[in-house]
Structure 1
Amino acid sequence: MNSATRLVCNLISLSLVLSSITNVNGGGYKPSDSILLNCGGSSGGTDADNRKWVTDTNSKFLVGSVQSTVVTADYQDPALPSPIPYMSARIFTAPASYNISVNKKDRHWVRLHFYPATYTGFSPDSAYFSVAASGGLTLLSNFSAHVTAKALSLAYVVKEFSLPASDNGMISLTFTPSDKYNGSYAFINGIEVVSMPDLFSQPASLVGFSDQTLEASGSGLQTMYRLNVGGQYVAPSNDSGMSRTWYDDSAYLYGAAFGVTYEATDKVRVDYPDDEAEYIAPTGVYSTMRSMGPDPNLNRNFNLTWVFSVDGNYTYVVRFHFCELIHTKVNQRVFDIYVNNKTAYDDADVIAWASSKAVPVYKDFAITVTDGPGDDQLWVALHPSVDAKPQYYDSILNGLEIFKMNDKTGNLAGPNPEPSQMLLNAEENLTAGSFKSESSSNSVIILAPVGGIVAAAAVVAVVAVLYKKKSRMAGNESNGMWLPLYGNSHTSSTSKSSISGKSSAGSNFANLSAICRHFSFQEIKHATKNFDESLVIGVGGFGKVYKGVVDGVKVAIKRSNPQSEQGVNEFNTEIEMLSKLRHKHLVSLIGFCEEDEEMCLVYDYMSNGTMREHLYKSNNPPINWKQRLEICIGAARGLHYLHTGAKYTIIHRDVKTTNILLDEKWVAKVSDFGLSKTGPTMNQGHVSTMVKGSFGYLDPEYFKRQQLTEKSDVYSFGVVLFEVLCARPALNPSLPRDQMNLSEWAMNSLRKGALNDIIDPIVKDQIAPECLKKFVYAAEKCLLEHGVDRPSMGDVLWNLEFALQLQETFENDGSPSVDGGDTSGSFASSSDSMSLTSDESGISQNSRGIDHDPAQVSTTAVFSQIVHPAGR
């Protein structure tokens, strides 16, 4: 073969390769209409997803001689994904319309973007307005983007609607200021009108009426929730040309039943049955899933449940996305689907629907939610179908969408969410000007718009109804639904700190929302009775912690010690981290003071102090074993959220029992984020940084190499677990050399089979033997020498909650175990004896957590499969 012939062959081969790549990736949906208006902007530009926007100035879309004002936001919240379309706005003080010509054969997405900032001459709290669409649809009524953003701790709000095909080829959007408030105005930052395939052409099965269906194709719909179940955030640019955003589902899971998540490997590829099916949901959704877990006995006793806040008196279409990634045969995994405690589908079998593994399918169900007491929630639950006698008692889900249908009057509008009382108090204080320092002209005044939760989480703004978080189960402590954090916790700004006039990169106090109050030093002194020593409740590296009272609410106030090694950087980090994080198992930051060389942080008061205070060296009565286990689980949830709940991993770097606080209900909350670091990116497995932390808890690998990863937190948490079990400090120099370091002593005792000798005698007889095995298994794996061999915090959480279930089973009926095995309580040098096995599921655990056949799936974050069976 001569060189010319070889060149031609190579070019043909390259052409074929490129062609196959194109075919594999698919072209995605090509919308016939894609109109993105940067409202009020002098020009167009691109957003964070590289989509092109055009200005509406002098455009053909504004109807007639509309009286409007073009404005620019006074402040750019760092949580905004990009200046376009949010930094400019068009304000209307009278009704005004956009008329947008579209293909009349298509349905269209309409997305409205709002940034409730202060615009010159216009206060955000005065903007109350309605938005109507052609076809007699009311999209928003008496809407306040300011109230919505504040209540949900968002920087900006996006409302997404799907409108039916237009008879005249025109979509009209009319903005009308509310007549209920004097001085109201309407505003809009960005408008998207994008054609879409008819995703609702098939009728939805009516829940509770097996023989009836509901047509949604002719209705207007509002997107309430769009979740990638068992997976991570999917950006609009990765959504098959549909520009949708998909979010992690874990914020909506009920109780402790988190199940187990899986992600398909390269050997398992999603195989769409036809081209149009790809538009239903992207591969990023179908290649991940959540199941109940490997233990069939436990799975029979609980539901995998999600809970959503919704508006009453509307009908909802609930779309379930399924793709079986593991099994290949009919009747291997069969389950029942429930919506609002009603059976939506009996004996669901994904393989039977799809005819093959890795083939996506979806099912639509419709249900009406009435408007009555307690009827502001929508529950979705899955349960193994026992009657079908499947090979595996389990259930799965890959994706979930919830759409609200317009009522018979064409209305889609719901009420504004209700801010918490703390937010209302903060707003009153802001209005009164009491946040301004009276003694220092250099103090920072927080008047910025909400910048708490990083605003890439705007699907919760799309969903926009996470309010009235009521629990239907009295006394339920685990039904906290926390807004997922999907954004950059970095800040690129550099602001001038008033502390000694020093410039501190990342200080950026203007990034705080109204829920993070700026106190004057006079207010701090008043709250602590001028720092009365009798109110000191703790002393740390930063300084003393005082008990105080602010507006009648008990708080904890941490005051910096000028001689402390922890200074402005730790102070800034603590504020930056906690102002953006909201989770049931993370301590809440109320506010801060930076004035006259003083630095103070104000937190929720934790009436039961630190975890350590209830283990040893304290006048407090020691807590029992089950309570210790529940506290460990709460702390693990908090750390797991830090590691996986954000777009960027957050590494705590100082995990220890004094940084695990307990509220009045003994709920554990991780605290002290002064040393926290944003974790590595996908291209870098670690963060190179100087060693900081507490001796006795430090990851030896981090100590040696100065390379920090989330597994450093896992190591520290392993020390905490042994500290809980043995009730002694991590370091005790007064003990013999071989006992001085708790982690070394515990691991040596475990290898010798003598761990029972060092367990806290107060709880030794309370611990169920199988619970002890599972607990020590988790602790041992946390302390492995190499970080890559340690489990994730999700794995640790799973094992701890399994241990709790074993303990409760033992306490309830005296059964030694739910999976059989040795009940002697002794430990061999190998941890294999502590591994959970299940012959029925064909799944086993090893030293790296819960792994399946690597040819089928790879395990991502592993969550709990356990929930208290009582009340289920």
Structure 2
Amino acid sequence: MLVLLGLLLTSLMVHAQDDQSGHISIDCGITKGLTYTDNTTGIQYVSDADFIDSGEIHNISSVNFDTQLTTLTSFPNNTRNCYTIKPKNGKGNKYLIRANFMYGNYDFLNRLPEFDVFLGPDYWDTMKFNSSSQSRTMEIIHVLSSDYIHVCLVNRGRGTPFISAIELRQLAGDMYKETNFGSLYAATRENFGSNSSTVRYKADNYDRLWGSSPATTPDYTSIKTVNNISDGLSPNVSLPLDVMNSAVTPRNLNVSFDIEWEPFNTTDKFFIYMHFAEIASLKSNQTREFNIYLNGKLWYGPLSPLNHTTTTISSSVPEPITPKYTVTINKTKNSTLPPIINALELYVLKELPQRQTHDQDVDAIWSIKSVYRLTRNWQGDPCAPREFVWDGVRCNYDEIDMDSHRIVFLNLSTSGLKGEIDPGIAHLTMIETLDLSNNSLTGSVPDFLSGLKFLKVLNLKGNNFTGRIPKELLEKSKKGSLLLSFDGDCGTNRCGKKDKKIIVPVIATVASIFVIITALTIVWIVKKQKAHDKRKTRTGLEIKKQKFTYSEIKSITDNFKIVIGKGGFGEVYKGCIGDVEVAVKMLSKSSLQGDKEFQAEAYLLLSVHHKNLTSLVGYCVQGKHKGIIYEYMANGNLQSHLFDTSSRVLNWEERLQIACDSARGLEYLHHGCKPPIVHRDVKCNNILLNERFQAKLADFGLCRAFPTEAATHISTEVAGTPGYLDPEYYLSYRLTEKSDVYSFGVVLLVIITGQPAITRYENDNIHISRWVKVQLADGDVKNAVDPRLQGDFDSDSVLRAVELAMACVADLPNGRPTMNEVVMGLIDCLVAERARQEIKLDSLTGIESVDMETVD
């Protein structure tokens, strides 16, 4: 069960910090709700179950490890899995963040995995292992840019990611001021002269891990003290006594102390922290003074460590990049004693430049996730990185003066939402598009939606709302500043008080009663017909629509006089039934498709009904003569209007409207039909246009329905059209709804560019998606737009359409949007273009209303 993250994590943290303020300690893989105090460190740990939605828990059989390393959570599913933590003190505070990993051959595969670890939207490091019995740790000092901390594991195909523990330690604000340059990734932390185990909490209040480095050669010796060590000149470092009470010094007066290391990456920039304290009892004639050199150049000195008082010498800026670093500590001429060093810290500057989502938006979206118990894979930051933006979410990335991303698009259509609209939505103050359609939402439409001043599209259709639509929403809709979609009309009192100008209320009432009676009658007839149909045995085309004889077909088509199309099924003829124009598709004897496809298309047209799917008028089954009669589309197919052979150039708004219409038809097949239906042959030729250029999806001979609603794919022979065919489907034979999404993405690219799916570039045939990438190489989206538009379009609208199309043709199906998201994205593009046109037509008096019928 999902819970409201902000409240739960805070309560968990407080519980876990009764004596450890600023600590959050998570043991991954222990039972949900379990807490314990570690016997060695006294640190209190909690289960990771309330910090992440996914994962499988495992145990490691060996008992020779710390308790936190004996369990783990692995993530065999999803590319990215994220822990989300909301500490009590968030944005602007400094934290030490540590992630622990212990493979221990938990999966009995004895294969060391390799995976990426992200801190928020930024890459932290790649986790690699040298041994199954060796633990690994990542540790970073980081100033939070958000109230939320996300630790994400990303599967790159080299083994299943896992994690053993996550630990957060809040640091004092004046510690490690070098975080002004960026985050500090810990390379090493050495406790010189000590041969004891690792020093950490409680010896170190901040739970830094200090590895012991005793003198291991005859040239050096360890010295210790039992006396206290004052912070002295290093009050902001707050070093533990157990670290500063030991040191290493050369045995020979003239021997230097050398420290060498090589960076893991050639671009690593280091910060060096060296800690000194005189812990020997010096005689009155003894002096310890030395200089510190870095790669042969004087770095600091001379220095005489203070008696039992810490002095820290550190980098003020990142050290210059070099293939190898050598720190040399030499005594000065005045010194009677060799140099000394107590402790060393090395950090790599880690710049984490990506912005996170605004905390207000994150609070809102987590509230929505919790209230509706959404099970979709919403993990980590909602907006960043773009590669992992949440399903159904789109964000504003373009405002360079903003310090965080804002959510501008939220599609929760067909998400199983129940109850009233969550007030958390009111906090998405920058939202432009909100789709709540096709759920089970109840109650009234809340007034707070009117307060979302940037809202341009609001879809409330397919719910169970009661009461009136807020007046302000209706006024925005009338003015054209909001595309508002809802069930019913003003005649059912959804829109408030009736217009006082109506002077025949009695007639209106009678008309309403008549409409209601008529509707109830139709519902009764349909239900009766459905019940009758269920009792019939379906052989051939026994579902009654309107059956025509072959002779009637010949009469309708004037003996097949006018051919208006041809495909693998056969030829299509123009005909008339009375005054109604129709199209007649006849199955030819040489058809490559045949009876099976004929049956598929006929049954589909009999069972589905949508304004963006071609409508069935009738059919013919007489011996070898088989035909389907459907509505006539006066303007033919989309393909004929996109290339130079067309005398009429579709403008940008028309192209977007056609794309939106056809996307809605496909959306209905995927999300409105139970079980879902995959078209399998989405292409420009199969998008037909009526006399008003309204687009309808056609040619359903290759459609396949999923055997159950729960099925995620079906295996089938590959079918489709080269250029439009999903390569993943072609290679795997696994048909999913995302196969149609790929094909529609190609359609959208063709609409945008005016180029065919397979186009010419530098004397070679390449796919349109590659051609678009080439055109976008210099960053100007206009290079990819059909030149016949002559620049008459909204650039932002085009850019969004191109981004949407390229997302549809992503290599991996999981990276593609759903058709719900595609529809909402296209509506967003359409709104931007129409807003441009309203400005362009500012000479008109009054504000022209948006045609709701064409957008709904």
Q: TM class by shorter-chain length? A: 0.3 to 0.5
Larger radius of gyration: 2
Instruction: Kindly indicate whether structure 1 or structure 2 has the higher relative contact order, using CA contacts under 8 Å at least 6 residues apart.
Output: 1
